[in-house]
Chain A
Amino acid sequence: MASKPMFRFLLRRFIFLLVTYIVATTVVFILPRAIPGNPLAQMLSSLSQVAQANPEAIRAAERTLMKEFGVDKPVLVQYGEFLLKALRGDLGTSISYYPRKVIDLIVPVIPWTLILLLPATLVAWILGNTLGALAAYRRNTWIDKGVLTSSLVVSQIPYYWLGMIFIFLFGVRLGWLPVQGAYSQGTIPSLSWGFFVDALKHYVMPFASIVISTMGGWAIGMRVMVVYELGSDYALFSEYLGMRDKRIFKYAFRNSLLPQITGLALNLGTVLGGALITEIVFNYPGTGFLLFKALTTLDYPMIQGIFVILIASVYLANFIVDFLYAWIDPRIRLGQEE
């Protein structure tokens, strides 16, 4: 009964997805090319220093390289090739790490980014929402005031600045924690206890700086939402019926969670892009760090590659949100069936 409309719904979503994907990849294609500079020039200049070659040979090298990266063709052709390849999952060859493939460079750093950002985002979301809801429940008490003021202050701290403060305090001054990397230099990642402890030590500061700086925003949002819901008609009516305060609060919490889940999912979608500046500050080998290096060397294929993966993950997150929403809010679930 519900299959035909459901199928139509999914088809519509899919077409919409395809169109936005093309638009987004177009932007990704144009933007790095708009940055002034020629990525090949750098390679060629280093080549000329090493080889002491004559201009003739360098020009020949330039031609081969241009062919290799496809920059000799008209921009429109380059664009078409990029789109087709991107759909097939071929992200091209990196310029700055020539001749390694972009995908081979991105894949190994993804776990590090996920390990850092997934838990950090989730923990910040859970802590922030709990605190915000608590503040709304104990409205106008010292708990509320404490949560609100500290959230306001903390949410305005740039996370990289917090990271630098941490490095200075716990890394340099107190010497408790290592200041850079995801594990000590010289060790090889393995599944041993020693490596785990080492990685954990490296983990604490970037993790904490992200959690602390993002949970304030969640707390403020949640507090406002719950306060609003507690003042709504159903909360009032429940009160008149003698419903217990705790239950009314649960209602308000449940209804406030909806927009927060959207926020979380959109946040999780961007996780694959890494926490750019945090990763730079801590020299953490994630996608953010990779993107930073790609940007500074104008490595077009790499920049494009990272963004293509990022866009895909944002879409995936959006898709998941739709389903989550339907699960929590019957108005959406049942509305679609009709």
Chain B
Amino acid sequence: MLLKVENAKAYYKLEKVSVKAVDGVSFEIFEDEVVGVVGESGSGKTTLSNLVSMNILKPLTLVEGKILLKINGEFKEISSMSREEVKKKLWGKEVTIVPQSAMNALMPTIRMAKYVEHLAHSHDLAEEKLLAKAEKRFEEVGLDPLWLKRYPFELSGGMKQRAVIAIATILNPKLLIVDEPTSALDVVNQRVFLKVLMQLKRMGIVRSIIFITHDIATVRQIADRMIVMYAGKIVEISSMEEILRKPLHPYTRGLLNSVLTPEPEIRKRGISVIPGAPPNLISPPHGCRFHPRCPHVMDICKEKDPPLEEVEEGRRVACFLYSEERR
């Protein structure tokens, strides 16, 4: 195991109200895997990535729960680290986030090689060594190392994305978090990008990848497991094949039905939409948060919040349809 999140609650504390963006989630990331986190906008995906990387800035507050990360073979409670510690010990080396708008992620007015040199200073490394490493990494993501001597704006969108990944992984972070990396790319560049990600993992440059997206069609090509979020909660965790073969949670089912996938049986069924809209996270609905939109709603769903329970080996669902407690 690489990372463990225990009952984490992270709220955006505003003056009078708090937005419960992540409300009691528990999961783990194993070594050597790609986990896709999916859900519609406002389901708490990005907040979850901020949580995992300990990028917690006001008004976001970790209200409850623990986050543990394996550093040098032993688990450290990173959720109790100060921001200074996080910056010094965690970021770049253990965990790196490629932010949502990776297109503008590179400092625009200096050459990329200069940027790498500055990174070397910040981590007390030798300039030449890190530059050599950057050149190698550029080659590994399919870019000519000569591009390092250029400015970011001289690269095309797809190239920029790869340059960002190359620089993001320059210190071999164990966990790489990519937030909506492919939404700004065309299909060809999306494929190239996914290939690059997989290659970096295969070569052991990064151990595990958390891939945050709303695009199920993309994530299914790369992820081993999938975490489905709805209104700040995890509703289903499962291996990719299982979830595609037989989605359990009604929300997951709705989500999968809302995209076109190449399977013949799904093509036959066509696309359907989930009626309604996601709830307000300031005062989410009582009981199961999905119940106002759920086609299988029962009485108990309106009163009690379904716990995330293991229904099969390695498969957890938060729904009373699969719970002992139903009725």
Chain A interface (Cβ within 8 Å of chain B)?
Answer: 232-234, 236-245, 247, 251, 254-255, 328-331, 334
The CA of A238 and the CA of B170, in the complex, are separated in Å by: 13
The CA of A255 and the CA of B109, in the complex, are separated in Å by: 7
The CA of A240 and the CA of B91, in the complex, are separated in Å by: 5
**Quick one: which of B69-99 are within 8 Å of A by CB?**
87-88, 91-93, 96-99
User: Can you name 4 extra interface pairs (CB under 8 A) apart from A330-B151, A334-B154?
Assistant: A233-B102, A236-B99, A236-B105, A255-B109
Contacts of B252 in A (CB 8 A): none
CB contacts between A and B, total, < 8 Å: 78
Least distance between B47 CB and chain A CB atoms (Å) = 15
Contacts of B123 in A (CB 8 A): 242
The CA of A328 and the CA of B106, in the complex, are separated in Å by: 17
Known contacts A233-B105, A236-B99, A238-B107; is-contact A331 B92 (Cβ 8 Å): no
Contacting residue for A241 out of B55, B108, B153, B168, CB 8 A: B168
Can you list 11 A-B contacts with CB-CB less than 8 angstroms, sorted by A residue number? Answer: A234-B104, A237-B168, A240-B92, A240-B97, A240-B99, A241-B171, A242-B123, A242-B171, A243-B119, A254-B109, A331-B109
Q: Is the pair A334, B109 in contact by a Cβ cutoff of 8 Å?
A: no
Known contacts A234-B105, A254-B109, A255-B108; is-contact A331 B151 (Cβ 8 Å): yes
Interface of A (DSSP majority class):
helix
Contacts of A240 in B (CB 8 A): 53, 55, 91-92, 96-99, 168
Q: Is the pair A241, B109 in contact by a Cβ cutoff of 8 Å?
A: no
Contacting residue for B107 out of A234, A242, A244, A329, CB 8 A: A234
Is B122 interfacial (CB-CB < 8 Å)?
yes
Number of chain B interface residues as a range: 20 to 34
Contacts of B106 in A (CB 8 A): 234, 237
Contacting residue for B108 out of A234, A236, A239, CB 8 A: A234
Least distance between B174 CB and chain A CB atoms (Å) = 14
Q: For residue B105, which residue of chain A has the nearest CB?
A: A237
The CA of A247 and the CA of B101, in the complex, are separated in Å by: 21
Per-residue A-contact encoding for B108-123, CB less than 8 Å = 1, 0 else: 1110000000110111
Q: Is the pair A241, B99 in contact by a Cβ cutoff of 8 Å?
A: no
Q: Is the pair A239, B91 in contact by a Cβ cutoff of 8 Å?
A: yes
- Max chain B CB contacts within 10 Å: which of A234, A240, A329? A240
Is B167 interfacial (CB-CB < 8 Å)?
yes
Least distance between A163 CB and chain B CB atoms (Å) = 39
Least distance between A74 CB and chain B CB atoms (Å) = 55
Is B164 interfacial (CB-CB < 8 Å)?
yes
The CA of A50 and the CA of B294, in the complex, are separated in Å by: 103
Q: Is the pair B122, A243 in contact by a Cβ cutoff of 8 Å?
A: yes
Q: Is the pair A241, B101 in contact by a Cβ cutoff of 8 Å?
A: no
Contacting residue for B88 out of A242, A251, A329, CB 8 A: A242
Known contacts A241-B167, A242-B91; is-contact A247 B53 (Cβ 8 Å): no
Least distance between B135 CB and chain A CB atoms (Å) = 17
The CA of A244 and the CA of B120, in the complex, are separated in Å by: 10
Q: Is the pair B122, A244 in contact by a Cβ cutoff of 8 Å?
A: yes
Least distance between A277 CB and chain B CB atoms (Å) = 39
Least distance between A233 CB and chain B CB atoms (Å) = 4
Contacting residue for A247 out of B92, B96, B121, CB 8 A: B121
Contacts of B97 in A (CB 8 A): 240
Q: For residue B88, which residue of chain A has the nearest CB?
A: A242
Contacts of B107 in A (CB 8 A): 234, 238, 251
Contacts of B55 in A (CB 8 A): 240
Per-residue A-contact encoding for B277-296, CB less than 8 Å = 1, 0 else: 00000000000000000000
Least distance between A275 CB and chain B CB atoms (Å) = 34
The CA of A237 and the CA of B104, in the complex, are separated in Å by: 9
Contacts of B105 in A (CB 8 A): 233-234, 236-237
Least distance between B284 CB and chain A CB atoms (Å) = 29
Q: Is the pair A330, B109 in contact by a Cβ cutoff of 8 Å?
A: yes
The CA of A334 and the CA of B104, in the complex, are separated in Å by: 18
Least distance between B92 CB and chain A CB atoms (Å) = 3
Contacts of B93 in A (CB 8 A): 242
9 closest Cβ pairs, A-B complex = A242-B92, A237-B105, A233-B104, A244-B122, A242-B91, A241-B92, A234-B107, A240-B97, A243-B122
Q: For residue B94, which residue of chain A has the nearest CB?
A: A242
Q: For residue A258, which residue of chain B has the nearest CB?
A: B109
Known contacts A254-B109, A331-B153; is-contact A241 B121 (Cβ 8 Å): no
Q: For residue B115, which residue of chain A has the nearest CB?
A: A238
The CA of A237 and the CA of B98, in the complex, are separated in Å by: 7
- Max chain A CB contacts within 10 Å: which of B55, B106, B107, B171? B107
Q: For residue B89, which residue of chain A has the nearest CB?
A: A242
Q: Is the pair B104, A241 in contact by a Cβ cutoff of 8 Å?
A: no
Contacts of A237 in B (CB 8 A): 98-99, 102, 105-106, 164, 168
The CA of A247 and the CA of B91, in the complex, are separated in Å by: 15
- Max chain A CB contacts within 10 Å: which of B55, B103, B104, B108? B108
Contacting residue for B122 out of A236, A242, A328, A330, CB 8 A: A242
Contacts of A247 in B (CB 8 A): 118, 121-122
Contacts of A238 in B (CB 8 A): 107
The CA of A234 and the CA of B107, in the complex, are separated in Å by: 5
Least distance between B147 CB and chain A CB atoms (Å) = 14
The CA of A186 and the CA of B57, in the complex, are separated in Å by: 66
Contacts of B101 in A (CB 8 A): 233
